[in-house]
Structure 1
């Protein structure tokens, strides 16, 4: 297996990057009505698009044949529109590779661990009750919450009807997103939430635990008993219960851990790094996001929230000969010199590469943006 592992993410989830959006009416060609607060990314504000308007008109006829009422269609599309930024993000997706070490540095960062412990303490009663009802480890539920929306802080603000209708109209994955749009309209019609409140990621994942609309219809739970399966509320109870129900119905075994770090396990995603022994529940976590790294991230974060420590086995130096400690020192030294890396987590991303390039240019060095031992020493 190569040094770098492929992280295949759903187009929904981790990090559910909270993006905002304005709204645009689709009542006629070129009609624009803004009803959602400003201060949001320009490319996620609806723009006039007569071809999209025509598609919506034809879609309404198809939706009506699937049992979506005219009143639901009228209310759901009242303040919607074509979002160019959604199409851009969908088309610019690339499968990316990141080492497990880098992935865990983000997924189980100290900030995420500390926030997770605080969130667990606040919602201990609910989480333990969910474990009792569904048999799913309460700390696993908390970890999924942490990875999917940073414990509710990043639920996403893009109107789901606009996002899914834009992507269905665009056509690259038209059938899939038309299914999501129909499901979103059923959620509105069922009375779980009005369309104006149904927000999420740019690709339609919603709420604390980032359910896509079809998963919501199949697994969402009204835990609070108020008659609505409200995964968008500031109260995360329904969302956490829905995640627990999802795992239970996908085969979670009560009382069985996800796995653990071990000295002789067969799962070693990064050569030279930690090994893991996993259980059937590891595969169940992958039903939420089909990635070994994601499942390890959830499992390890759950252990850290429970009170466990970092992984015992150190990861080897990266392809540039730098350990995580070296990369952290590099980031701190660049920032101290005025070349801000936007944090020192040991993960070399765009901000760090930009800082390296700026530093190299200021010193008359070849501008590569690549970290190295020599660069570290020069700092």
Structure 2
């Protein structure tokens, strides 16, 4: 969930805004001490609070991420190119095979198809390879004392303390995103307390060390959010020439017959079908891919409230079921790069003498600086963005 913000901040290397006035670290200890009474009111005993907060120190870097949301700032063709690529599809199919028995049982119990559960897992943590590395108690206590939304983060901080105090997850294992999401499918602490399940029967709800617990908890989240078994999330459609986009939007549900009367068909030209209440999603406007979306798309949206995120989950699930890429190209002459292509780009930059660190497909500050330098040399727009045009230019001898 929230972890996607931090993970993609690293992938795309976009700058975050810094607070105009630097926060005072000396305020931290008195603030944490002052939260003890509120924690007690939330059921955290004083000795537990003292023990779990005794060695906390602020991590003021997390404040840089408060206003950063790549789902809303990154062109969708860049956003999806790194989240739904051939590499992730292959990995997802391998995970479906490896955990087939668990996924079958989870699907039978919670009525959510395995591909959708695995798609959440893949997007949220790359199948457990990227949990995030920030200690949750540190991040959440910092966000409880500085910056915007302190009341919200205090609630998450208290819930994280409950998770550790209950023995579900040890404090040293409770690491994740800057905002507090953790585990294989990146639950926030409050979501964990409401919806995590002990699938493997060891007496603990463990989204960090137990893949079965994580898969079952994710399915439980989707079920409780209103997932409808056997119904599609939606599908790509074809718009007629000159289509009037008024009335488009995920929330503006209309009868399928209304959309059909306006000339919309499935992408292969066949008639619309499915639940008789659907929205029309145009993530890049009428010239890009268009989608009829149903209730299950809204359920995915509830996992992390961004339409681009929900589309990534939905599209990856379709790919895991054997579907292909979108038929309609994105309205750009410079599409985004897959993770393999980003690694190739980094390798080419290193060959040109740039010190960008590890070749990992995560385009951080050093990679972006090198990209800007090459864009200037090549006469491209200097924006630090990695696209197909730059990669093609660097491939030339």
Hey, what's the Cα distance between the residues in 1 that align with 2:27 and 2:390? 55
Hey, what's the Cα distance between the residues in 2 that align with 1:361 and 1:270? 28
- Post-superposition CA distance 1:195-226 (Å, at most 9, x none): 23222111110101111111111111111111
Answering whether residue 222 of structure 2 is matched by residue 250 of structure 1, we say: no
Hey, what's the Cα distance between the residues in 1 that align with 2:2 and 2:206? 22
* Contact 2:132–2:175 under 8 Å retained in 1: yes
TM-score by length of 1: 0.76
Specify the SS of the correspondent of 2:73: strand
Name the residue aligned to 1:282.
Answer: 297
Q: 1:1-379 maps to which residues of 2 (within 5 A)? A: 11-13=2-4, 16=7, 49-90=25-66, 96-233=72-209, 235-263=210-238, 264=265, 266-271=280-285, 272-316=287-331, 318=332, 321-322=333-334, 335=349, 338=352, 354-359=369-374, 368-369=382-383
- Post-superposition CA distance 1:107-159 (Å, at most 9, x none): 20122111111111111111121111000111000000001000111112221
Specify the SS of the correspondent of 1:277: strand
Name the residue aligned to 2:276.
Answer: none
* Contact 2:5–2:68 under 8 Å retained in 1: no
Hey, what's the Cα distance between the residues in 2 that align with 1:372 and 1:112? 19
Cα distance change, pair 222–14 in 1 and its aligned pair in 2 (3 A): farther
Question: Offset of 1:375 from its aligned partner?
Answer: 11
TM-score by length of 2: 0.73
Hey, what's the Cα distance between the residues in 2 that align with 1:298 and 1:169? 34
Runs (5+) with no aligned partner, structure 2: 11-23, 239-264, 267-279
Hey, what's the Cα distance between the residues in 2 that align with 1:185 and 1:210? 17
Hey, what's the Cα distance between the residues in 2 that align with 1:355 and 1:193? 41
Runs (5+) with no aligned partner, structure 1: 1-9, 20-47
Hey, what's the Cα distance between the residues in 1 that align with 2:373 and 2:59? 34
* Contact 1:274–1:311 under 8 Å retained in 2: yes
Specify the SS of the correspondent of 2:56: coil
Specify the SS of the correspondent of 2:66: helix
Higher mean alpha-carbon deviation, 240-249 vs 80-89, is at 80-89
Higher mean alpha-carbon deviation, 137-146 vs 112-121, is at 112-121
Specify the SS of the correspondent of 1:262: strand
Question: Offset of 1:273 from its aligned partner?
Answer: 2.1
Question: Offset of 1:334 from its aligned partner?
Answer: 6.3
Hey, what's the Cα distance between the residues in 2 that align with 1:109 and 1:351? 24
Cα distance change, pair 217–159 in 1 and its aligned pair in 2 (3 A): same
Specify the SS of the correspondent of 2:35: helix
* Contact 2:5–2:71 under 8 Å retained in 1: no
Specify the SS of the correspondent of 1:288: coil
Question: Offset of 1:191 from its aligned partner?
Answer: 2.3
Hey, what's the Cα distance between the residues in 1 that align with 2:390 and 2:216? 51
Hey, what's the Cα distance between the residues in 1 that align with 2:183 and 2:70? 24
* Count of equivalent residues: 335
* Contact 1:18–1:201 under 8 Å retained in 2: no
Hey, what's the Cα distance between the residues in 1 that align with 2:51 and 2:235? 49
Cα distance change, pair 70–111 in 1 and its aligned pair in 2 (3 A): same
Hey, what's the Cα distance between the residues in 1 that align with 2:364 and 2:169? 38
Cα distance change, pair 165–315 in 1 and its aligned pair in 2 (3 A): same
